[in-house]
Amino acid sequence: MNRLVYFPVPGRAEASRVALALSNVEWEDIEVDGEKFAMMRSNGELPWDMLPVLQTSNGTIAESSAILRFAGQYSGLVPSDSYQAAKADEFIDGMGPLARALDTTFGISDVDERVQLRKALFESEGEGTKNLQMYEKKIGESPTGWAAGTDEMSIADLKLFTELFALFSGNYDGIEVPVIKSYPNLLKYHSKVANEKRIKEHYGRVSKDDIRWTFLPGAFD
Ligand SMILES: N[C@@H](CCC(=O)N[C@@H](CS)C(=O)NCC(=O)O)C(=O)O
């Protein structure tokens, strides 16, 4: 049995959770708190001292994108065409800067300071804005509407959809819904992915007050 271990939030594990849920792999979603995380780290259970990890019968895989690529193989979300697969990988790797920019705000325990830093990320010259503009442009240029221009939905879409829209769930203080309203291509993209049959079914039981409300069709209408 494979075990995906992460904190009880979408964050960096959600794309892999969806990929696993859409596969025929047997897996368990293990949500841990800070104490359990610290224990796993001190026991040497985390290859890079971080979560998420996927524990498999062969050993533990760390790094969210590596887990996603692995899980994507079992859910038909890694393109069989090698150029398209590389473009999906390119998109996934290209999302690194936004995650790193946000990471700088996580260790800040003072709420006001954290809110200020996050707001600054999404001001006109902020790193968050730069990245959202980049995604907006790429989605606008995609001939198929999928993030990496692939023929079908791919692991790049799972990553973009879950990591981008989760930012506006209310779980990240300082990041507000109006920010995403300035990106028409991203809103259209949200609708495309949220209404994709497998994604819609996957989140079928999520209610509007759930942390995952941002993945529901019409979430930002
Ligand atoms: N590059 C890693 C980053 C993982 C990461 O930043 N994990 C955070 C949680 S979102 C973590 O484990 N933080 C605990 C710590 O650094 O002590 C990935 O994508 O998996």
Residue-wise pLDDT for 161-200, tens only, equals 999 999 999 999 999 999 999 999 999 999 999 999 999 9
User: 1: closest CA among 19, 20, 28, 24?
Assistant: 28
Whole-model pTM: value is 0.97
Share above pLDDT 90 across residues of the chain, in percent, rounded to a whole number? 100
Which of 37, 41, 49, 51 best tests ligand 1's pocket when mutated (most atoms within 8 Å of CB)? 51
pLDDT computed for residue 60 by the predictor: 98
Contacts of 162 (CB under 8 A, 6+ apart): 10, 14, 15, 18, 215
User: Is residue 64 lining ligand 1, measured as CB closer than 6 Å?
Assistant: yes
Q: Which fold has domain 2-73?
A: Glutaredoxin (3.40.30)
Q: Are 15 and 158 in contact (CB under 8 A)?
A: yes
Summarize pLDDT for 96-145 with one digit per residue, the tens.
Answer: 999 999 999 998 999 999 999 999 999 999 999 999 999 999 999 999 99
**Domain-wise residue ranges, the chain:** 2-73, 82-207
pLDDT tens across 143-155, in order?
999 999 999 999 9
- pLDDT at position 101: 95
171 close to ligand 1 (CB < 6 Angstrom): no
CATH class of 82-207: mainly alpha
Q: What is the DSSP letter of 168?
A: T
Q: By alpha-carbon position, which residue is closest to atom 6 of ligand 1?
A: 50
Confidence of residue 158 (pLDDT cuts 50, 70, 90): very high
Residue 70 CB partners (closer than 8 Å, separation 6+): 54, 61
Q: Ligand 1: which atom is nearest the Cα of residue 65?
A: 19
Q: How far is CA 216 from the centre of its chain?
A: 15
Mapping DSSP to helix (H, G, I), strand (E, B) and coil, where does residue 7 land?
coil
Cα of 50 vs centre of ligand 1, distance in Å, is 5
Question: What pLDDT does 96 receive?
Answer: 97
- Residue found by looking up tokens 């690529």 in the block: 69
Interval 34-65: pLDDT, tens: 999 999 999 999 999 999 999 999 999 999 99
Name the β-bridge partners of 153: none
Quote the CA–CA distance of 123 and 130 in Å, as a whole number. Answer: 9
How many helices and strands in the chain, by DSSP H and E? Answer: 10, 4
Cβ of 10 below 6 Å from ligand 1: no
Q: What is the per-residue pLDDT for 145?
A: 98
Q: Which two tokens stand for residue 170?
A: 């209310």
Question: Where would I find the beta strands (DSSP E) of 52-134?
Answer: 53-56, 59-62
Residue 144: per-residue pLDDT:
98
User: How is residue 23 annotated by DSSP?
Assistant: S
pLDDT value of position 114? 96
State the distance from the centre of ligand 1 to the C-alpha of 163, rounded, in angstroms: 14
